[in-house]
Structure 1
Amino acid sequence: MSEGGAEGRAEIHHAHRDVNGGWLRPSVFGAMDGLVSNFALIAGVAGGTSSTRVVVLAGMAGLAAGAFSMAGGEYVSVASQRELAIAEIDVERRELERHPEAEQRELAQLYESRGVQPDVAAEVARQISLNPDKALEVHSRAELGVTMQDLPSPKIAAVSSFLSFSVGAVLPLLPYLLGVTSLVGSAIVSCLALFGAGALVSRVTARSWWYSGLRQLLVGVVAAGLTFGLGHLLGGGAL
């Protein structure tokens, strides 16, 4: 093997997680939103009525409405974001076609601003500019922060959001579906799920598991407590 082969190739000692795939944010947000919103909805209805059937119906309606709403919202949001990025990348493509020398100088100046010596920066920019596709990728990354390969998929975002919201929303409803007639069962399951979901999210963030878990638990309990109080005030129901 020559020096320019395996011995000359830089070794990669670490790997990064996918942060641009378009699935993580809608999945996490969908599960959290489904859990918190349906727990709060069920608590609010249970606070206003003693009818288990009404509570279950409200929980099912909240699950279905929320899941479809989340999926539709994520699809439109991510599609709009993607279309805007594509339009800006097209602007950069046209600039490279019309003013290649100016764009090459701009790229060289970018490398200079990052500490590369001027002659080296000029040569790197020249070599990159020989390949129009590579030049577009580098310019898009430097000026827009994205490339065509980085753009999230609206379909993946919508499906991820729908499924994760449904999973989160069914948990507060599960005790009722299994025959429990008291809000206490739903509250126990929801609180455990809230803490567990928050702790799980800490694996992809810099927060500790107990901090993320307690934070998510607090958010859910406050939301459910407020809606239960409102439902009890308006409907006069009981646990």
Structure 2
Amino acid sequence: MTSERTGSRTPENHHQHRDVSGGWLRPAVFGAMDGLVSNFALIAGMAGGQGGQKVVLLAGLAGLAAGAFSMAAGEYVSVASQSELAQAEIEVERLELARHPAAEERELAEVFEARGVDPATAAEVARQLSRDPDEALEVHTREELGVTPGDLPSPVLAAGSSFLSFAVGALLPVLPYLLGASSLWPAAVLAALGLFCAGALVSRVTSRAWWYGGFRQLAFGGAAAAITYGVGALIGANGL
């Protein structure tokens, strides 16, 4: 009512969404968590087996290097394979649009109809979109494959994110030993803080409560380290 009397329009309510399809977030988060948990568990196992300071430090550094390169290689191959499969299917769709444009236009109209658009409007929208081959290809691949031709995940970005995040996570429990610590407790405290902070940080992009994310990650990481420490202690006690 107020906008009618003043002749002004009601301001549009614009909003932005966070990126939920990018190729960097999942490998970065997974890499940091995996690096911290796996390397702390490895160090805990070596300490539980009565390994000396140099032995534990060597195991931690070896775990960091091996894990970071393994994560990067695995992530690269995984994302590259996924992108290659998507590219192959996009090429199939491109050929279909070139060979059977009328059939593809009808198929697109049927997609809109299935979403509740009346047949005449759906046919007109499909006709207009099909005039531009690139636009038609993008719409078809997005509707049928769930991907966009120019926006596929980057294998290099995924591998780099995994490598760096794993290395950072794996370095935390090693730091006290690099600085001369000879017991597990400094590494345990630093790892616990890292686990809680990492879980709390992830909650900023998942809308979970920060304390929930922090304690959940701390619980899982602590359980893994405790079990590995127990295994190391058992093996060490039996002199294996």
- TM-score band (shorter)? over 0.9
Quote the offset at 1:150 in angstroms: 2.2
Residue number in structure 1 paired with 2:102: 101
Any idea what the Cα deviations from partners look like across 1:19-66, whole Å, max 9, x if unmatched?
333111110000000000000000000001241000000000000000
Give the Å deviation of 1:210: 1.4
| Aligned AA (2:82) | Q
Q: Which amino acid aligns with 1:196?
A: C
CA–CA distance in structure 1, aligned partners of residues 168 and 21 of structure 2: 23
Q: Report the residue type matching 2:189 in the other structure.
A: I
Counterpart in the other structure of 1:32: 33
Hey, what does 1:66 align to over in structure 2?
67
1:71 shift after superposition: 0.3
Amino acid at match of 1:150: D
Alignment deviations for residues 142-162 of structure 1 (CA, whole Å, 9 cap, x no partner)? 000001222100000111100
Please give the TM-score of this superposition, normalised by the length of structure 2.
Answer: 0.92
Long gaps (5+) in structure 1? 1-9
Give the CA RMSD over aligned residues: 1.7
Matched, 1:193 2:218: no
Deviation at 1:123, TM superposition (A): 0.5
Which residue of structure 2 aligns with residue 162 of structure 1?
A: 163
Aligned residues: 230
Per-residue deviation, residues 186-205 of structure 1 (Å, max 9, x unmatched):
11111111011011101111
The residue identity in structure 2 corresponding to 1:144 is: L
1:212 & 1:236 partners in 2: Cα distance? 36
In structure 2, the partner of 1:22 is 23
Tell me which amino acid in the other structure corresponds to 2:37.
V
In structure 1, the residue corresponding to 2:150 is in which secondary structure? helix
Partner residue of 1:6?
none
Identity %: 70
Find the aligned partners of 2:12 and 2:164 in 1 and give their Cα distance: 39
Give runs of ≥4 in structure 1 deviating > 3 Å.
none
Mapped to 2, the partners of 1:138 and 1:24 lie a distance apart of 26
Structure 2 residue 204 is the aligned partner of structure 1 residue 206: no
**SS in structure 1 at match of 2:120:** helix
Matching residue of 2:123 = 122
Question: Quick one: distance in 2 between partners of 1:229 and 1:74?
Answer: 31
Shift of the alpha carbon at 1:217?
A: 0.6
The whole-number CA distance in structure 2 between the counterparts of 1:217 and 1:105 is: 54
Question: In the TM superposition, what is the alpha-carbon distance from 1:12 to its structure 2 partner?
Answer: 6.8
Match of 2:174 in 1: 173
Q: Residue 215 of structure 1 corresponds to which residue in structure 2?
A: 216
Contact in 2 for aligned 1:20/1:150 (Cα 8 Å) = no
